[in-house]
Amino acid sequence: MQRHGYQAYLVGGCVRDLLADIEPKDFDVATDATPEQVKRAFRSCRLIGRRFRLAHIHFGRDYIEVATFRGSGNGDDRTELTKEGRLLADNVYGSIDEDAVRRDFTVNALYLDPQRGQILDYVSGYRDVRARTLRLIGDPEARYREDPVRLLRAVRFAAKLDFTIEPRCAELIATLGTLLKNIPPARLFEEALKLFLSGHARRSFDLLQEYGLFRALFADTAAVLDGESGAASLEMLRAGMANTDERIASGKPVTPAFMFATLLWPAMRRHQQQLEAQGHTVADAIHMAAEWAVFRQVARISIPRRFSTPMREIWQLQPRFENRHGKRVGRLMSHPRFRAAYDFLLLRVLEDESLEP
């Protein structure tokens, strides 16, 4: 980019992580070039996005994301807000200092020029990285309302980085959690993956509970956790999150299907028991309760069928572990979800001590 005559800097999480002695997983670039100019400069470039126009420069299977400096957008018809203050469209370009104040947290607004070895800091982000503090840029309430997903990002960064959320920014999280109802379920699905499948699921879960955001994402499960059997279910969920973190740390595969099976189990299980009390068989009760749980959850967090189907299979295999005689054992062990279902059974022991894995 610089050889083409543009300003260009590494920006955001990669700079923050380097300063915090964390190995970055990816690198983003900010530039004064427009997306169209970036595309003309690189044959391997692809433009994406409507709300934020971005350039992806591909190198084999990898790519570098390049974003044009954003401007304030004051009075510009290319910036659109909802009545709640949420930003719907934003393709206003500006200077690097304008771009810095448009970013969410100070620690994500640091720019690194690798040619000169120089860091540009317009919002005291370097100070906050050293103090291990998460602080929103500008008025915290306005910034949360502009994009309520920042509520979840605050939790995720605090969990990942082991940073403390600045008191005012933390105080507002619990009071503004209802704003998440305005976020599309598909976007919340992507945020859920980042929260629970990035190696810090246990800490993310605890912080979501602490700040009252878990209910905004998983209302039916939260209702069970508040009930008489909530303590046992809570122990199971926390163990499930810890196990996921251990698998990621050891390089083992993880899947959203198992994660959602764990997070939705308390709600599904309670509904299953209610159906059994009404006279339904165990198999029918599980089937109907699984349909109910998925139907209610996808209204809040969209779960693609490629994950919801194996999730249901993990649940539906649970009663079959109680019958371990004859050919049924062989059929059970040959099921493609057997390993996941057995691992899930081991988790359930924490909720129900009568089980014998």
Predicted pLDDT at 86: 55
Q: Which of 17, 28, 128, 245 is catalytic?
A: 28
Question: Which pLDDT belongs to residue 77?
Answer: 47
104, 128, 220, 245: the active-site residue: 104
- What's the distance, CA 331 to chain centroid? 36
Q: Is the full-model pTM beyond 0.85?
A: yes
Would you give per-residue pLDDT tens digits along the chain (357 residues)? 999 999 999 999 999 999 999 999 889 999 999 999 999 999 999 999 877 789 999 998 899 999 999 987 654 545 555 555 555 555 689 999 999 999 999 999 999 998 899 999 999 999 999 999 999 999 999 999 999 999 999 999 999 999 999 999 999 999 999 999 999 999 999 999 999 999 999 999 999 999 999 999 999 999 999 988 789 999 999 999 999 999 999 999 999 999 999 999 999 999 999 999 999 999 999 999 999 999 999 999 999 999 999 999 999 999 888 776 666 776 777 788 888 989 999 999 887 777 766
Our separate counts of H helices and E strands in the chain read 17, 11
Q: What pLDDT is stored for residue 81 in this prediction? A: 55
Which pLDDT does position 75 carry in this prediction?
46
Q: Is 245 a catalytic residue?
A: no
pLDDT for 332? 77
Q: Where are the beta strands (DSSP E) in the chain?
A: 8-11, 28-31, 45-48, 54-59, 62-68, 79-81, 87-90, 110-113, 118-121, 133-134, 164-165
28 is annotated as an active-site residue:
yes
Question: Beta 62-68 vs 28-31: how paired, if at all?
Answer: parallel
Q: Which residue of the set 26, 62, 226, 352 is catalytic?
A: 26
Give the model's pLDDT for residue 351: 79
Q: Which two tokens stand for residue 113?
A: 């020029």
What are the distances in angstroms from CA 223 to CA 4, 176, 230, 267, 344? Answer: 57, 19, 8, 8, 21
pLDDT computed for residue 357 by the predictor = 62
Report the pLDDT value the prediction gives residue 333, as an integer from 0 to 100. Answer: 78
Write down the pLDDT at residue 356: 65
**318 CB-side CA count, 13 A:** 27
Asked about 76 being catalytic, the answer comes back as no
- What residue type is 146 in one-letter code? E
pLDDT of res. 74: 54
Length in residues, the chain: 357
The values of phi and psi at residue 101, to 5°, are -75, -10
Task: Single out the residue of 335, 190, 298, 198 nearest to residue 254, CA to CA.
Answer: 198
